[in-house]
Structure formats: C-alpha cells, structure tokens
Amino acid sequence: MFTGIVTALGTVREVLPLGGGQDMRLVIGVTPDFLAGAVLGASIACSGVCLTVVDLTADSFAVDASAETLSKTTLGRWRAGSRVNLERSLRLGDELGGHLVSGHVDGVGEVLSATPENASVRWRFRVPEPLARHVAPKGSVAVDGVSLTVNEVDGAVFGVNIIPHTAAVTSFGTLQPGDAVNIEIDTLARYVARLLEYRA
C-alpha cells in the first residue's frame, strides 16, 4: 500500500527486453537516500504502478514489468530519460498524507489541458469510460501515483489543481497535454460500485 505522496523523482536509465521482448526490465536511477534500507523484493510505486525490486545498486534499482502490466499502464512508453514518480511502500505508523493507494492501475488516461489559475495550474484529464463513474467531485484519485483531490467532473473528464510544490517534486513539471497517465481510482469507490452491481 502507498499514500500517493511522491517522495522522489527517478530517471529511467535502461529499458531491457525480457522473455523474447514481451516483458521488460527497467533500471531507474535515484538519489541514494531514497533507497536507504531498501532490500530485494521491496515494493516501490513507479508512477503509480506497484513493482518489485529485483536488483539494487547505491543509486539505482531494477524492476521487471510483465506484458500484462505494459499493456495496462504507461510503462510500455517509457524510454531512457523518462521521469518517474517514486514512493516507497507504506509502513505501519507512517503519516497518511494522501489517501490509500494500492499501486494497481485501473486504466490509462490522457492529459487534455493545463491552464494557469491564480497561483496553481488547473489540469484536466480524460479517463476511459468504464472508470468515469468512479471519479467524483472532492473525491480522491491517483494520477501517475500522485494523490489528488478532484475539483470537478464532466462525463469522462475531471479536473484538479496542482500547486507549484507538487509540480516541482513530481512529473507534473514536465507533463504535457496529450501525454498518457496512469489512473487509479479510489479503493472505496471501487467497492461501492461493486456492491451496487450486486444490489441491482
């Protein structure tokens, strides 16, 4: 489990094909302090995708992504130099600054626009239609692993405000309209929808 509070920005150093090119190994460079205490098998959220550490150096870690993960997330688009939002897994007693995030991406959304609004920037995203009913005004959503509060919803489009600090410490600083992003809906919304299906 994670909180959606990004604690580091990593950079993809290598993209290595595995399993005849269907799977992928990603080597991600980070500052050494981010990996303090990390061990093989640890879970790290990489732009919202929970991945398992399979190799470690002083300033990098490697993770393997299956063909299934590549097809359901933005990882298949990553190249050397891609910026990655990173968060170590939540430990009991840690501050829950965002909301509970599982690291299981529900779908890939699209950045529609980024418009300055007072001291922040209003970002608008389009999500796949099946996810739209799970996004609610003032509810929570994770975009590329960043916990955000939804401002408004219009069909499959929703908006959030990003303050300068968030833009500086996450990939929002380089995100552009047209880019693809990983979307994880709020866990509570997922289960409420499932219960309503059974009642119908």
CATH topology of domain 107-199: Elongation Factor Tu (Ef-tu); domain 3 (2.40.30)
Of 7-11, 91-95, 196-200, give the range with the top mean pLDDT.
7-11
What is the per-residue pLDDT for 81? 96
Q: pLDDT tens for residues 71-124?
A: 999 999 999 999 999 999 977 767 667 788 999 999 999 999 999 999 999 999
Sheet with 120-126, side-by-side order of all strands = 146-149, 140-143, 180-185, 107-117, 120-126, 157-162, 152-154
Higher pLDDT, 194 or 62: 62
Residue 19 has a pLDDT of: 80
Q: Please, are residues 104 and 185 in contact by the beta-carbon 8 Å criterion?
A: no
Are the C-beta atoms of 3 and 96 separated by less than 8 Å? Answer: yes
Please name which of 69, 64, 61 lies closest in space to residue 8, comparing C-alpha atoms. Answer: 61
Taking the C-alpha atoms of residue 24 and residue 67, their distance in angstroms, rounded to an integer, is: 8
Map out the domains of the chain as residue ranges.
Answer: 8-88, 107-199
- CA pair distance 173, 20, nearest whole angstrom: 35
What 8-state DSSP symbol labels residue 80?
T
Whether 107-199 and 8-88 are alike in CATH topology: the answer is: yes
Q: What per-residue confidence (pLDDT) applies to 164?
A: 96
DSSP annotation of 101 reads B
pLDDT in tens, 116-150: 999 999 999 999 999 998 999 999 999 999 999 99
Question: What local confidence, expressed as pLDDT, does residue 197 receive?
Answer: 67
pLDDT of residue 198: 66
Predicted confidence (pLDDT) at residue 200 exceeds the cutoff of 60: no
Mean pLDDT value across residues 10-16: 97
pLDDT given at position 168: 95
pLDDT at 199: 66
* pLDDT value of residue 91: 77
Contact criterion met (CB below 8 Å) for 3 and 102: no
Q: Hey, what CATH class is 8-88 in?
A: mainly beta
Q: Which of 143, 145, 140 is nearest to 48 (CA)?
A: 145
